[in-house]
Amino acid sequence: MYAALWSSNLHLAFRGKSAMLAGRPAEAIPFLELALRHERRDAAHNRSNMTADLGGAYAQHGHLDQAVSLLDQALTIAVAAGLKSCIERVKQIRDRELGRYALDALVQGLDERIQVAHGAGDGSATGQAAHQRQGRRRLR
């Protein structure tokens, strides 16, 4: 029933996400890139999710730099729009697709930004400390 209400663009994104989740990144990437290219600029929720899924597909394809860049873009969109579910999606994709790269500096940087995004709005001591560390790092 919900699919009947979706635009053709969301159908493309769904096909891309499905291929990514099935471990078929070569199939997922073109669908997600096309969907993202045609998504409205003001559709932050969809843009963040599509960008995160595309990052996951690039991670599966072995393109770490592109994957981290896309997940970071998705996180930036989600934080700017206050979309906690999208922040969580970025974290889930990072955990699932980039776990084997946990010691890589690019992934560690993404992990810090995810931690800041998770903590910035919850008032927790961990989140506040992470936010302060991130701020100090920018000032140096």
Structure tokens at 89: 């999606």
pTM: 0.82
Query: Is the pLDDT reported for residue 86 higher than 70?
Result: yes
Q: What is the pLDDT of residue 8?
A: 86
Q: What is the pLDDT of residue 5?
A: 58
Q: State the CB neighbour count (10 A cutoff) for residue 15.
A: 17
Query: Is the pLDDT reported for residue 15 higher than 90?
Result: yes
Structural domains for the chain: 2-139 (1.25.40)
Q: What is the mean pLDDT of the chain?
A: 86
Pure H helices in 39-139 = 44-60, 64-81, 84-98, 105-120, 125-139
Phi first, then psi: give them for residue 20, nearest 5 degrees: -60, -45
Q: What is the pLDDT of residue 120?
A: 58
Q: What is the pLDDT of residue 21?
A: 96
Query: Is the pLDDT reported for residue 126 higher than 50?
Result: no
Q: What is the pLDDT of residue 119?
A: 79
Q: What is the pLDDT of residue 108?
A: 97
